[in-house]
Amino acid sequence: MFADRLKRIMELLEVSSSELAEYIGCDKSNISRIVSGARVPSRGGAAWRRLSAGILSIAGEKGRVPALCEELECASAENDALKEALDCYFYADSGTDPDGGIGRGRSASFRMFGEKLDIVMTLAGLSNVRLGRQVNLDASYISRFRSGQRTPRSNPRVVDSICAVLLTRIRAQNRIPELSETTGISAAVLEDRPRARDALRNWLCDFTANDSGEIIGQLINDIDGFQFRMDVALPPAGEVAGAALQEEARSIYSGRKGIQEAVLRLLGSALAAKAPELLLYSDESMDWMIQEPEFSARWASLMQAAVLSGTSIKIIHNVDRDLREMVEAVRSWLPLYMSGRIESYYCSRPRDRRFTHTLFVCPGCACVEAANVNGHPESRMYRFHGDPDIVKLYENQFTALLEESLPYVRVDSGDGTHVPWSGDVRLAHTGIRISESAVTVTRLDEPRCAFVIMHPSMRSAFAAYLETKTDEAAGRNMQ
């Protein structure tokens, strides 16, 4: 039960209900109701996000991250991996695995991963021993993956290694057509090495299959019902990035407060310089941006002002793992996407699990950069640079990373004359079309624009969503 697992985590962290409530900013009665079993937070809801963020922050402050990793069976101490592991831990199907772990039963998604892995390993002619040797895992682990007793969900690097070995073996045997038929991934994608690894990983690791329809439905509804609101009550950009902030001489910022101040200074500098472009990448948790409403409003004010003044934004999203994260990356940036000034990508290179990296560049003006050990947010250090030569070096680094990235979302905007639509489903204000390589969501009235989403797993999720809706409609017609 959820309540039992929360009690176990609280014991592990040596924290009381009162302390946990105070830490995440809610009334003690809310935590007491969860601990007693009277309430279970909705998966993915605001209450669960605040609770999981609080657990991770407390673990970091108390030095209990290693113990938490052990309890969750999470091989990585990175914040994003721990979030996924917490989600699995608290919302897994009831039951225990052979090791007696609490709540880590053989859920349908785990069994599906094992079944898929077994099919592809058989196609590749790989035994547990041979695959284990090539990915540096004991054969017994591979066996438990195949049987559904375990999943590498919280260790994406293992999944990447498995996919690389499987694809290399299948290519060597000229069995790409058979893999394409088995997985439904086009042969052209499987022959393209960076795209093939992403596509196979997303097919193997469809851990969100049960709620992907809800997630995609939320995004479609957001786009279908979107209205431009540039009159939303935001603090004036001039007050957010005042003269005092722009005249700061310091170059080092620390912790959550530090990155917030550094980012406001960077955006204020970009706005003052009427910068034509911003380059954004970060693979650390975005909690510093979204968990404090006051700061979020200040950030949104400057971003909105920059876009309205003509600044274009290139962003490399950290969205190579989880469907919910990928959708949230679009939903949270939706007003900016609708402006047509966002170019977004996702990096095909595996992330470094020991360090987090941040690189925000305003070319010719300033930049904020950081490389920090994972799991210690309050000790992180961020450097602000205004020297043109240093800014140019970091601009070159962003460009190099961009060359290893693939298009994620492209937005075509206009008066409707060059945003045509012919497709599979039409909603009140939106049409949806699925092609072999992308999904296009087109706004059919103001604001007219077309979202072209090119990530393989997003395309698959949209296709599955539309298939489900078609089946539901057919079922109603038969009644």
CATH number at residue 175: 1.10.260.40
* CATH number of the domain residue 62 falls in: 1.10.260
Q: Distances in Å between the alpha carbon of 365 and those of 13, 155, 187, 278, 388? A: 44, 38, 45, 10, 7
pLDDT digits (tens, 9 = 90+) for 135-167: 888 888 788 888 776 767 556 678 888 999 999
How many C-alpha atoms does 13 have within 13 Å on its Cβ side? 25
CA–CA separation, 334 and 329 (whole Å)? 9
Backbone torsions φ then ψ of 361, nearest 5 degrees: -130, 130
pLDDT digits (tens, 9 = 90+) for 198-214: 888 878 876 444 456 66
CA-closest candidate to residue 216, choices 462, 472, 463 = 462
The residues that bridge with 253 in the sheet, in sequence order, are: 382
CA-closest candidate to residue 306, choices 344, 249, 266, 334 = 266
Other Cβ atoms less than 10 A from the Cβ of 284: the count is 20
Q: Residue 386 sits in which domain range?
A: 212-468
pLDDT digits (tens, 9 = 90+) for 259-304: 999 999 999 999 989 999 999 999 887 778 877 778 888 888 899 8
Among 204, 238, 265, the domain boundary falls at: 204
Are residues 232 and 291 located together in one domain of the fold? yes
Which H or E run includes 381? strand 381-385
Please determine, for residue 68, whether its predicted confidence score (pLDDT) is greater than 80.
yes
pLDDT digits (tens, 9 = 90+) for 322-353: 666 677 777 777 878 878 888 999 886 666 66
Q: The whole model's pTM is what? A: 0.57
Tell me the two tokens of residue 414: 């206009």
Residue with tokens 């005042």: 242
Inter-residue contact 430 to 224 (CB < 8 Å): yes
Q: Is 148 left (phi over 0), alpha (psi -120 to 50) or beta?
A: left
- Helices vs. strands in the chain: H and E counts, helices first: 23, 12
Average pLDDT across the chain, whole number: 79
Are residues 117 and 15 located together in one domain of the fold? no
Among 175, 204, 233, the domain boundary falls at: 204
- Higher-scoring residue by pLDDT: 352, 258: 258
Tell me the two tokens of residue 352: 């470094």
| Residue 337 pLDDT | 82
Tell me the two tokens of residue 38: 């009277």
Are residues 335 and 433 located together in one domain of the fold? yes
pLDDT digits (tens, 9 = 90+) for 419-478: 445 556 777 778 888 887 888 888 877 777 788 888 877 887 787 777 766 655 544 444
CA-closest candidate to residue 303, choices 269, 267, 257, 273 = 267
Residue 313 lies in a domain: yes
